[in-house]
Amino acid sequence: MKSKAAPAATARGGKKPGKAGPRGGPSVMAAKRSTHRRAGEITDAAAQVFAELGYHGATTQKIADRLQIRQASLYYYFPSKEVALERVCLQGVAGFFETAQAIASGPGRPPERLAGLMRAHISPILDRGNYVRVFLTQRQFLPNASRRRVGKWSRGLEQIFEKVIREGMRSGDFRGDLDPRLTALAILGMTNAVASWYGKENASIERIGGEFAALVLDGLKGPGRKARR
């Protein structure tokens, strides 16, 4: 029996599609690559809509309008607004954890690694600003199960910062009277806030990272230690 899809594909493209083998031929692989690229564009559009309008102002129709597609077509990727928000939030934190782990377990004394963690935490604002802002400000509106899935990555980051602070206390690089948990939360609160005002001040990401690192390390340094940037 002939496939009904083949004539339609020929009419659209003007070429007869290649024959796919048991595991899929060139046309199947091309379709998968196209779908992957399209999924990225759709998630980018969702991030932009959530960042601009917030969870309550965003709708799947507005995401579809941004892409100039029918709302029904969007359901292939996002069956609901909640799923779209979870996808954007997960993308917003993607890579943070792995990068932080690599820095925390890498070379250098605790002050150098803590400074590296702070810079790495701020830098994604440059190329993933919408994702970062949505993760920081809109994840509270996720359903409970989704919020738990997203929240585990946030808690993992907190633990990495706390671990480096504890190491610095043991080595004498940081003061011994610190509360590692509260210190980690304070640093993350300060770096997270950059997403809300970056671009409104005449300061580059590099300068902000350097100034913040100097400020924090100067406050944490142990007796007789020089602050490290």
Residue type, 76: Y
Q: Which domains does the chain have, with CATH numbers?
A: 91-220 (1.10.357.10)
Residue 113 has pLDDT above 70, yes or no: yes
Alpha carbon distance 43, 49 (integer Å): 10
pLDDT digits (tens, 9 = 90+) for 42-61: 999 999 999 999 999 999 99
- Please, what's the b/e burial string for 168-201 (b: 16 or more CB within 10 A of its CB; e: otherwise)? bbeeebbeeebebeebbeebbeebbebbeebeee
Q: Give 221's strand partners.
A: 174
Q: What is the mean pLDDT of residues 62-71?
A: 91
Q: What mean pLDDT is reported for the chain?
A: 83
pLDDT at 28: 39
Q: What is the mean pLDDT of residues 119-123?
A: 93
For the stretch 9-43, pLDDT in tens is 333 344 444 444 445 544 434 434 444 457 789 99
Judged by average pLDDT, the poorest of 90-94, 121-125, 168-172 is 90-94
Instruction: Give 165-216 pLDDT, tens digit per residue.
Output: 999 999 999 999 999 999 999 999 999 999 999 988 899 999 999 999 999 9
Mean pLDDT of 120-127: 91
For residue 135, pLDDT beyond 70: yes
Q: What is the pLDDT of residue 154?
A: 86
206 sits in which H/E element: helix 205-220
Stated pTM of the model: 0.74
Say if CB 194 and CB 208 are below 8 A apart. yes
Q: Name the percent of the chain lying above pLDDT 90.
A: 57
Distance of alpha carbon 174 from alpha carbon 227, whole angstroms:
9
